[in-house]
Structures are given as structure tokens and as C-alpha cells.
Chain A
Amino acid sequence: MRRSGTRHLLSMADLDRDDIEQILNLTESFAEVGERSIPKVPALRGKTIAWVFYEDSTRTRLSFETAAKRLSADTMNFSVSSSSVNKGESLRDTIETITAMGIDGVVVRHRAAGAPHQVAQWTDASVINAGDGWHQHPTQALLDLYSATRHLGELDGKHVAIVGDINHSRVARSNAIGFAAMGAQVTLVGPPTLLPPSLAGWPVEATHDLDSVIDDLDICYLLRMQLERQGQATVPTLREYHQEFGLTSARADRLGSDALIMHPGPMNRGVEIAGEVADRPNAIITEQVANGVSVRMAVLFLLLGAGLEPVDHNLAVA
């Protein structure tokens, strides 16, 4: 945001370490709001945010919605399934129509990579990417970074494995950039069929052998194995996937006592993670969800409220 000089949040690649730290510091302040008896501040009163979700989402939309309400913003939902989109309206016409109503922010999810980048060209509102195809999901990466730093402190030199279907995962693309920007060592783990065809330009290493890195990890980040992708035969069976790449009880036992188990949800217990492992104390999966609200408050506030100048936290949470 500072580096790109834009008022949008489209990709983790647009943020440098200072930007990320600014967001995480502000998140800390907003997390406190959520603990109050009336968890609401007037920071975005009078601002209107539209949810434009071209792809189904429950948890991300609820998380953004909660964040906006805690900031006293007005929200409106552009529901694709019951709207003009089904009558053939173009993305551009839809965005221009919505923003003509006087919208300050547009939170976009789309099944096509780059759709939020296009939207940003067609509106004066701030555009926040809530997930575009396999490309990016920056607020997920930010909430993961916040969650990790809460437990581990600075991430410099920490070893993070992102395990699973990297190629089809916007979470993986966002987190690989985000963790690396914060100084962590990132290893992608998956079978060749689930790794990107090329890792040129990625600040990561890759392996097909989870057991070769498991003892060394500070964070084992598991991706959802998308059952619906089975038709493409990227792995023989989910049972075999679990054996080779799942965080089984035996593998979880090999993690250091301080190592974190993370997952963006929704989980397939018994596939990428053994059911029992997901409930261990070092699995912070539910905490990630809670932090998502605070991170999204910080992002919405930075983009729609105070801007990117040094933030007066007292004003924000007054």
C-alpha cells in the first residue's frame, strides 16, 4: 500500500515489510475492541462498503461484515446469484453501477485471477481483494501473519512449511510472499502435480517429502485438499494423500513443542489433517478465524479511514 501508492489491497506482492508491520500493529489495537462489552468504534461511520462476491464464501464474507460493523461502516451486499449478473451484465457494468451509488469500498471475490485488478481500474472506490481464483487472498495472509507473530514473535528465520495443493491455492500464493516478506524461511510441500509448474521468482524452497522437513518446522501450514478437484486426478486417492502429505498424529508428534499448526479452513479432517491433531493446543485454527476480524478491521480502516499516514491509534479506538 505504501510502496504501491494505491488505495487498494489487491496482492501481497504490493506490500513491503513496513506495510505489513503497520497493518499488524493496527490489528493489535483493533483486537482489543473485540474484547469490549460493546465491540464497536465509530471509525468508519458514514462510509459504505459493498460486498461483491462472484464466488461462494461464508466465512470470509462474515468476517469482513463483522469487521465493517465493528467500525460502524454501512454495508451492502451485492449478491451475484440473485442479481443482474445472471442476466448477463458485465463485470464493468456491475461495478460502475454499484459505485454510482456512492460506495467507498468494494470487497471483491471472483473465481478469475486478476478480476479485482480490473475492478480497480473502473471505480474510484477502494478495492479489496477477498480472493481471486488461484491468485491472491491478501487478508488471509495478513491474518495468518498476525496469528503467527502473536505466538512466535518476530518471524525472522522461522521455518514455515505450506503443505498441500499449492498450485490451485490463492492462500499459498499470498502466504508464500507474506511469510517471506517477514523474514521467514518458506518451504512448499506437495506432490509435483500440486506444485506450480515453475517456482521462478518465488522466495521459497520446495520438497515432495514432508517428513524431510517436519522436525525443523516452526509452523506447519496445511492447505485444504479440494475434494472437487479429484476429477483432475492430481493424486491417486485421498487416503494416499493423507499418508504422504497429511499431518498425521505421528508427524504432529515430531513437531517442536512451540511449533504451530495452521489451516485456513474449512478443514477436511482425516485428509490434510488428522482429526485429533486439529484439536491439539498448538493448532491455532480457530484463533486464526478470530484474528481475521481484527485484521480486516485494520485493512478497512487503513484504506477507507485514516489513509496510510501514521495512524493515531487512540482516535481509531476511541
Chain B
Amino acid sequence: MPDLVLTNGTLVDGDGTRRADLRISDGLITDIGDHLDGATVIDADGLIVAPGFVDLHADLGEPGGEEAETIQTGSRSAALGGYTAVVAMPATEPPADSLAVINQIHDLARDALCEIVPSGTVTVGRHGEMLSPMAELVRAGVRMFTDAISGVQNDRLMRTALEYASGLTHLADGLDVVVAQPGAVESLAAGGVMHEGEWSSRLGMPGQPAEAEELMVMRDIALARLTGGRVHFQHVTTAGSVDMIRAAKAAGLAVTAEATPHHLCLDHSACSSFDPVFKVMPPLRTITDTAAVRAGLLDGTIDAIATDHSPRTRQDKERPFLDAPPGVIGLETAFAVANTELGADIETLVQLLSTNPARIAGIGDRHGGVIAVGRPANLAIIDLDHEWTITAAAMASRSANTPFEGRTVRGKVRHTIWNGDHVVNMGEATR
């Protein structure tokens, strides 16, 4: 691969912000300085050069949901969104609860446009009964376990999972193995298809109270205290959850959290259209909650923006709201939506989209962090001021279920470089 040189860009990373040129050779950053040149030059004048983004939470369809997405189309979508790594959720069919499925995902990711990092299920088949072979999966590179969707409901089993995971550090290059909690308390949330409140009452739809999520956050903070295990809260949505996580961190507990682009700016009134594209789990909450999620992201309570990219076929999203599967796609729009709606500076956005999620995913050796000589060249090059209109038809995802259709946003990924490979050039995927 010939050298690639980025000129005149503004580098933003964990070390701060400065103007410099970059040379990339054989997948690595080999020089940082002034007036570099080479065979292939990307003029990054006026653009931000950031560590490539890392998504902690994406469903990529395969295996089992290929009509909605494949790892190939999902990774292309990710690359276009500036991502160089995506943690693939294990709620596949079959679930990622064995070495065989993890290996299948690695195999399917051979031609992907970014690194696909499989996560594993906490329990076999996501049935909430027996632990998955966690040590074996950690040896295969898994760093995060989650039962996805409903999460581990049983208190004792969650305790056991956290304790067991806390003993696997020696297999994980000395890093913590994370048990992630996506769920709400099922007995309280069951049947609810949207947030319980003003709009569910008006529309006559069964709701999920905020407290169903908050009880689960409360329980897992207690279990983190009990076990010393590493809990990561997936897609936090309520003001109460944000408050509890803030307090837990202040008390020194090893918890982390993520929030989605849609939960930081869309509220439950969107459901009044009965358009199932606004059906997500956890559901869209109130404007008080969206404000709390934004505040949590800005003050560091919530560590990361994660997409919860959940591709769904057209026919699935044309079922009645009550019956349609939840989920929205997000990989191609996350940066622009966050840049437009969060009110954060670019340094904070890079923390939330790259540095922090790379650390939580256990891939900080090659993603996120700092742009430095000797590191793998995983970069997102962004035009912060470019305004554009979100259109599902223009996306690489196999599905079209974006809740942001028609919305004008600011900030566009121009180039993505993954291990030195120029996978997105001038906003177009190169393969």
C-alpha cells in the first residue's frame, strides 16, 4: 500500500487540538509534522482529523437477520459514519453464545469496512439460565457480554456473571471484562410498546414506565458494589437512571454508560404519528429525560454515544405500532445528530464517540485514544460545518428505518481510514 498523507488537518484527540500533517504507511501512522508529502495526499484543510469512532452497540444482522442487514452492509454504513470499529451485539440467530458463532462472525467480517468486535451473550441462548462459556469467548477476543434486549433478569445470575467475569482479566490482556445491561425490569415493562405517560395515555397504547429501567439500573449498581464487577449500562434513557449512575461514579464504583443519538433528542410525542419507525427499546421518553441524557453526556456521567443500530425490514416496520419490532438505524447519522443536537464541542464529541467507547470495548490499543506515531491509522476526517439532509434512500444500510428522515443536520464524515485503508473517500465508500 502506498503512503497516504493527510495535510493541513486539525487533529483532535485525547492530547488536545493542533494542526499537523500525518503520514500513514502500512496501516500505521508513521509521521506527524509539517509539510509532509507522498504519493497520495488528502487535503484536510478545514477538516477535523479524529481517531475513528467506535460503536459499542450495533445489530449487524448476521447471522440470522440478513434481510435487514449483513455485516458487509452494516460495516459500510459504519465506515460512512466515521466508525473504524463496531461492537456487534450477540442477539443474532443463533445467538453469539459459543466459539462457533464468534468464529462465524469473524469469518463474515473478512471483507468488512471496519473492525467488527463480537460481543458474547451472558447466558446460553440468552435464556437467562446458564452462563455462556465466558472464558473461552474472552480467549477468542470477546471483551463485552450482554444478553441484549431484555438483559439478565435474574438477580442471582447477574451476580454470578459479574463475579465470574471479574476473574477473567488475565485472559483479556489485563483489561476488565464488561457485563453490559440493556434491560428494564421485565415484570414491570412487559407489554409496553412506548414510554408510559402522557402520550401512551392519549394514544391508548401500553407503556413502559421509566421506573422499569431505573429499577434495573439500581439493582446493577448494587450488584457492582457487591461483586466489584464491571457493569456497563446500555442505552440509558431516563433522568433517574442518569442521576443514579452519576452517584455511583461519585461513590467510586466501576460503572460506565452509553446513550443513543435518538434518546438525546427525540421524545415520546413522536409516537403520535403511529409510525413504527419511532418504536424503539428502551422507548423514547420525555423532554425532561432527553435533557438529562444530554446533561449526562456533557458532564461525563454517560461515557459514550452508542447507536443501538437496529436494522428492520420495510415490512416489519409497516406492521402496526403495537406489533412492529423496535429499533432504528443509526451508524450513518450518529455523528451528525450528536453534533447538531448535543451542544458539545468537537473535543467532547471525540471523547464520546471514540476515546471512551474504545476503552470500554477493550480495544483502546488500536482505536480511540491519541493520534500518534506507531499507532494503527484508524481515523475519521470530518467537515464540522457541512449541512445535509438525512435520507434513508441514500444510505448504505440494507434497511431504511431512520427516525431522522428529512432532518437537516450539521457535520459530515468525509473520509474514514481503517488500518491505513482509505475505506471512505469524499463521503463515498470505496468498496
The chain A residues found within 8 Å of chain B, CB to CB, are 90-92, 110-115, 117-118, 132-136, 167, 170, 173, 196-202
Q: In the bound complex, do residue A114 and residue B201 qualify as a contact, i.e. CB atoms below 8 Å apart?
A: no
Q: In the bound complex, do residue B204 and residue A135 qualify as a contact, i.e. CB atoms below 8 Å apart?
A: yes
In the bound complex, how far is the Cα of B49 from the Cα of A123, in angstroms?
49
CB distance from A275 to the nearest CB of B (A): 30
In the bound complex, how far is the Cα of B204 from the Cα of A198, in angstroms?
11
Q: In the bound complex, do residue A198 and residue B205 qualify as a contact, i.e. CB atoms below 8 Å apart?
A: no
Given contacts A132-B204, A198-B197, list 18 more A-B pairs with CB under 8 A. A91-B318, A91-B319, A92-B315, A92-B318, A111-B322, A112-B320, A114-B203, A114-B320, A114-B321, A117-B274, A133-B204, A135-B205, A167-B201, A196-B201, A197-B196, A197-B209, A200-B198, A201-B198
Question: Do A134 and B205 contact each other (CB < 8 Å), given the known contacts A110-B320, A112-B320, A112-B323?
Answer: yes
Q: In the bound complex, do residue A114 and residue B274 qualify as a contact, i.e. CB atoms below 8 Å apart?
A: yes
In the bound complex, how far is the Cα of B274 from the Cα of A173, in angstroms?
16
Q: In the bound complex, do residue B274 and residue A113 qualify as a contact, i.e. CB atoms below 8 Å apart?
A: yes
Q: Which residue of A lies closest to B316 (CB)?
A: A90
Q: In the bound complex, do residue A135 and residue B320 qualify as a contact, i.e. CB atoms below 8 Å apart?
A: no
Which secondary structure dominates where chain A touches chain B? loop
Q: Which residue of A lies closest to B199 (CB)?
A: A198
In the bound complex, how far is the Cα of B292 from the Cα of A250, in angstroms?
52
Q: Which residue of B lies closest to A232 (CB)?
A: B191
Contact check: which of A112, A196, A201 meets B321 at CB < 8 Å?
A112
CB distance from A199 to the nearest CB of B (A): 7
Contacts of B204 on A, CB cut-off 8 Å?
Answer: 113, 132-136, 170, 173
In the bound complex, how far is the Cα of B323 from the Cα of A118, in angstroms?
13
Contacts of A112 on B, CB cut-off 8 Å?
Answer: 320-323
In the bound complex, how far is the Cα of B321 from the Cα of A221, in angstroms?
30
Q: Which residue of B lies closest to A112 (CB)?
A: B320
Interface residues on B, range: 20 to 34
**Is B362 located at the chain interface by the 8 A CB criterion?**
no
Q: In the bound complex, do residue A197 and residue B201 qualify as a contact, i.e. CB atoms below 8 Å apart?
A: yes
CB distance from B84 to the nearest CB of A (A): 38
Interface-centre pick from B207, B320, B322 (highest chain A CB count, 10 A): B320
Q: Which residue of A lies closest to B202 (CB)?
A: A201
Interface-centre pick from B204, B209, B321, B323 (highest chain A CB count, 10 A): B204
**Is B200 located at the chain interface by the 8 A CB criterion?**
yes
In the bound complex, how far is the Cα of B319 from the Cα of A197, in angstroms?
25
Q: Mark B177-203, 1 if CB is under 8 A from A, else 0.
A: 000000000000000000011101111
Q: In the bound complex, do residue A199 and residue B320 qualify as a contact, i.e. CB atoms below 8 Å apart?
A: no
Contacts of B273 on A, CB cut-off 8 Å?
Answer: 117
Q: Which residue of B lies closest to A199 (CB)?
A: B201
Q: Which 10 A-B pairs give the minimum distances between C-beta atoms?
A: A114-B274, A112-B320, A134-B204, A196-B201, A135-B204, A112-B322, A200-B198, A198-B201, A198-B198, A115-B320
Q: Which residue of B lies closest to A170 (CB)?
A: B204
Q: In the bound complex, do residue A113 and residue B203 qualify as a contact, i.e. CB atoms below 8 Å apart?
A: yes
Contacts of A90 on B, CB cut-off 8 Å?
Answer: 315, 318-319
CB distance from A238 to the nearest CB of B (A): 22
Would you mind naming 30 contact pairs between A and B with Cβ atoms under 8 Å apart? A90-B319, A91-B318, A92-B315, A110-B320, A111-B322, A112-B320, A112-B321, A112-B322, A113-B320, A114-B320, A115-B320, A117-B274, A118-B274, A118-B318, A132-B204, A133-B204, A133-B322, A134-B204, A135-B203, A135-B205, A167-B201, A170-B204, A196-B200, A196-B201, A197-B200, A197-B209, A201-B198, A201-B202, A202-B201, A202-B202
Contacts of B209 on A, CB cut-off 8 Å?
Answer: 197
CB distance from B271 to the nearest CB of A (A): 9
Contacts of A91 on B, CB cut-off 8 Å?
Answer: 318-320
Question: Do A118 and B203 contact each other (CB < 8 Å), given the known contacts A90-B315, A113-B274?
Answer: no
Contacts of A134 on B, CB cut-off 8 Å?
Answer: 204-205
In the bound complex, how far is the Cα of B204 from the Cα of A173, in angstroms?
8
In the bound complex, how far is the Cα of B314 from the Cα of A90, in angstroms?
11
CB distance from A202 to the nearest CB of B (A): 7
Contacts of B207 on A, CB cut-off 8 Å?
Answer: 197
In the bound complex, how far is the Cα of B209 from the Cα of A92, in angstroms?
31
In the bound complex, how far is the Cα of B321 from the Cα of A114, in angstroms?
7
In the bound complex, how far is the Cα of B387 from the Cα of A280, in angstroms?
69
In the bound complex, how far is the Cα of B323 from the Cα of A197, in angstroms?
21
CB distance from A265 to the nearest CB of B (A): 20
CB distance from B416 to the nearest CB of A (A): 36
Contacts of B201 on A, CB cut-off 8 Å?
Answer: 167, 196-200, 202
Q: In the bound complex, do residue B320 and residue A197 qualify as a contact, i.e. CB atoms below 8 Å apart?
A: no
In the bound complex, how far is the Cα of B7 from the Cα of A291, in angstroms?
79
In the bound complex, how far is the Cα of B200 from the Cα of A133, in angstroms?
12
Q: Which residue of B lies closest to A122 (CB)?
A: B318
Contacts of A167 on B, CB cut-off 8 Å?
Answer: 201
CB distance from A162 to the nearest CB of B (A): 14
Contacts of B198 on A, CB cut-off 8 Å?
Answer: 198, 200-201
In the bound complex, how far is the Cα of B201 from the Cα of A110, in angstroms?
18
